[in-house]
Each structure stands twice: as structure tokens, then as C-alpha cells.
Structure 1
Amino acid sequence: MMGLISVQIIISVLFILLGWAIRYKKAYWLISGFASRAEHEKEQLIAKGSPQRTGMLLLSAGIGMLVLLPLLFTSFTYAVEVQFGFMLLYLLGGLVYLSKYEIPSKRKRSYTISTILFIVVIGSLTALTISSYQGYELIIKKDHFEITGMYGDEWNLKEIKRIELMEEMPEVLARTNGVGLPTLSKGHFKVKDYGKSLLFIQKGSSPYIYIELTNRKIFINDKDPEQTNRWYEELRTKWKVIN
């Protein structure tokens, strides 16, 4: 949590400093591509207030993120999504709006590019978020088991070296390639005393199944504790039959 708070503070302060320098110190060279423009284009943009508004956009985005920062200290489940969603929507929407202050000969191109960027980024992130929140199932078959959904796979039951039902989830140290949401951890993480592990974890929903394979360590549970127990008993029974 402290790492996430630190990252958000750093990003917010960076936006504020950049926005302040551009808006009030006229450091227009900080705007991407501005320094390489022809002098007459720079003069037109400044006269229209384009770089000044860019500075205000960054400044207000930083302030907005700081205003939303206290959400992280509340019980609100989607605080992170709200904060970074605000940042992306505000900045990308701001770029579309700023296209109206581009010089006439480049205004249409600027508007088209910024609009496409807005649609692609927001659309991709929305699709990724929806996919991340989609559930998963532990399916046990005759000689193998499968975990469905993103990061899921199939493993032979003979590869299992150990199965354990845990009342508490070991401490997750870091995410290496996965989805870390307020209520869900899915993908590749580093777990204290276990090292690199594959997680399919609904946070705060004890118990948790630990499956140690020949070359993989997996933690999985369901929102419903009874379903987790059923998975454990079925997997354990099939594993004993195989062995």
C-alpha cells in the first residue's frame, strides 16, 4: 500500500511541477514537439493560449490526483481504479479539447490523432479491466486439472507434489506479471517463503488452496469458502487415486 501511495504522490507532484513550469514560467519547451516547431507556429500557439492551457491541464490533473489520494485510506474498494481512471480520462480528454487551439492547418490532424488515442487507450484499458475481473474455475478431470481464464492453464495430476488447505494467505511480496486489484490477485507474483507463484486469489476469502507442482506453485481460492473446500477435496481425492 505504501508503495502505491508513494507512486501516486510522485506522479501527482510531477504533473504539478510540469504544469506550473509551463503555465507560469513559460517553459513551453517541456511540451512534446513544441521546441521543434517553426517560430511562426510557436507564436500562433502562444497567442491562442495552447501551451498555457496544456500547463493548466497538467497542473489540475496533479491536483485532482492529490485530492483523490485520501480514498486509499478508506474502505472504498475501487479507490485505485477511480484515481488512475480520472487521470487517464482527464488527460486524454484534455488533449482532445486542446486540439481546438492548434493552428488551423494542423487542427484537423491533431483532433483526429488525439481522438483515436483516446478511444484506443480507454477502450483497451476497459477491455483489460473487464477481462481481469472475470472469474476463473478450477476444473478437475481424470488425469489433469485446469484453471480457466486469464493466466490459466492445464497441469497433469502426476505433477502435483503437495496439496494444502491454508486458513491464511502468505504475504505477497511483489507482482511480476499479473493483475493486482483491491479484491483480486491473478497472475505471477512473489510470495514470502514460496518464491515465484501463480495466484488466483480472492482477497479476504479464506481458505486458500496451495498446489505445489514439479515446476510451479499455485495459490487459488473462490469467493465462496464452501466452493474452495469442494475444490480442495475433489483435487486431493483425484490426486491420491493417481498416486
Structure 2
Amino acid sequence: MIVLIIVQLIIILLFLFLGWLVLSRNAYYLISGFSTRPKEEQEELIQNGSVQNTGKLLIATGVGMLVLLPLHLTSFAYTMEVQFGFMLVFLLGGTVYLSKYEVARKQKRSYLISSSLFVIVMGFVVGLYTLGTQDYEIKFTDDTFEITGMYGDKWDRSTIQTVKLLDEMPPVTRKNNGFGLSTLSKGEFTVEGYGKSLLFVRKQSSPIVYIELADEKIFINGETSEETKDWYEQLKTSE
């Protein structure tokens, strides 16, 4: 958690610093595309208040994230998702709002582009989040076991070398390809003492089943300890 808080503090300070540079030091070159515009368009953007409001947007984003930061000190389970969601919605929505300060002849195009970007990005993020957080389970046959959902697969039970029931999840040192959320780890991660592993772990639930295959390592648990222990017993028969 400490590392996550430090990373978010760095992002917050970056937003505040960039916004301050734009507002107080007239560092308009920091705004994407401003430096490549014709001189007359730059002057019109300044006169319209576009660059000033861009600086205010950056500062407001940083302040908003700072206000939400204490959630990390509570038992609220979705702090990271709220922080990221706020930043994304506020910045994209702010970009749409800033269209009204665009050069007059480009306002309509700017609004259409920024609105389309908002819809596309939000749709992609929501869709990806929904897909990644969908429920999973283990399905068994006489010869195979299958983990359903995103990142899941089917394996021969004969390839199982070791099955263990762990009281808690070993430390995860890196996310390689997956979802590392406040409540869920799903996908490929590097686990201390185990190396690259597939994780299907609900962080509020224990114990954890560790499955070592011939060429893969898997950590998984269910919604309840009873479900996890049932999976363990069925996998143990194949060891």
C-alpha cells in the first residue's frame, strides 16, 4: 500500500506542478499541440482563456486526487478504482469542456473529437474492467481441469506436480500481464519465491490453492474458504 500511495502522490504533485507552470509561469508549450499552432491561433487561445483553464484543470485534477487519497487509510475496498476513475473522467470531461475555449472556427471539430474520445476511452475501460473482473471457477472432468473467464485455460490433470493449500498469498513483486486491483489479482504476475505465475486471487478471501504444473504455476481461491478447500481436495487427487 505504501508504494501505491507514494506513486499516487508523485502523480498528484506532477499535476499540481504542471498546472502551476502553465498558470504562473506561462509555460504554454507544455500544452499538447500549442507550440505547433500559428502565432495568431496561440494568441486567440490565450485571449479565450483556453490555456489558463487547461492549467486550472490540471490543478483541479491534482487537488481532487489529493482529497481522495485518505481513502487508502480506510477499509474501503475500491480506493484505487475510485482514484483512477476520477482522474480519467475528470481529465476527459475537462477536455470536452475546454472545447468551448477553442479557436472559433475549430470549436465544433474540437468538441466532436474530444467527445468521441471520451466515449471511446470510457467504453474501452469499462468493457475491459467488466471483462477482467468477471467471475471465475474451476471445472473438473476425469482428465482435465479448467479455470473459466479471462486468462483462464484448460490443463491435463496428469501435468499437476504439486498442490498446496496456503494460509495467505505470498508477496507479489510485479504485474506482467493482468489486473492488479484493490480486490482482485488476475493474470500473470511475478510472485516472490515462485517466479512467473497465473493468479486468480480474491484478496479478501483465504486460503489460497497453489498448483504447480509441469510448465506453469497457478494461485487461485474461491469466493469462500469452503469453495477453495473443495477445489483443493479435487485437485489433490491428481497430484
CA deviation profile, 1:91-150 (whole Å, cap 9, x unmatched) = 100000000111121111111110111111111111111122211010111211100001
The letter of the residue matching 1:2 is I
> Which residue matches 1:49?
49
The letter of the residue matching 1:149 is G
**TM-score relative to the length of structure 2:** 0.97
Distance in structure 1 (CA, Å) of the matches to 2:204 and 2:173: 17
> Which residue matches 1:19?
19
Query: Are residue 181 (structure 1) and residue 184 (structure 2) matched?
Result: no
The letter of the residue matching 1:155 is W
Q: Structure 1 stretches of 5 or more lacking a match?
A: none
> Which residue matches 1:138?
138
1:236 offset after TM fit, Å? 2.1
> Which residue matches 1:107?
107
Q: Does the Cα contact within 8 Å between 2:81 and 2:182 map onto a contact in 1?
A: no
Query: Are residue 93 (structure 1) and residue 110 (structure 2) matched?
Result: no
1:195 offset after TM fit, Å? 1.1
Alignment length (residue pairs): 239
1:22 offset after TM fit, Å? 0.7
1:84 offset after TM fit, Å? 1.2
Superposed, 1:107-186 pairs within 5 Å as 107-186=107-186
1:202 offset after TM fit, Å? 1.1
Q: Does the Cα contact within 8 Å between 2:185 and 2:203 map onto a contact in 1?
A: yes
Secondary structure (helix, strand or coil) at the match of 1:26 reads: coil
Q: Percent identity?
A: 56
> Which residue matches 1:33?
33
> Cα RMSD between the aligned structures?
1.1
1:235 offset after TM fit, Å? 2.1
Q: Structure 2 stretches of 5 or more lacking a match?
A: none
The letter of the residue matching 2:28 is Y
User: Which segments of structure 1 move beyond 6 Å, counting only runs of 4 or more?
Assistant: none
CA deviation profile, 1:47-99 (whole Å, cap 9, x unmatched) = 11110000100011111111111111111111111111111111100000000
1:207 offset after TM fit, Å? 1.6
Secondary structure (helix, strand or coil) at the match of 1:77 reads: coil
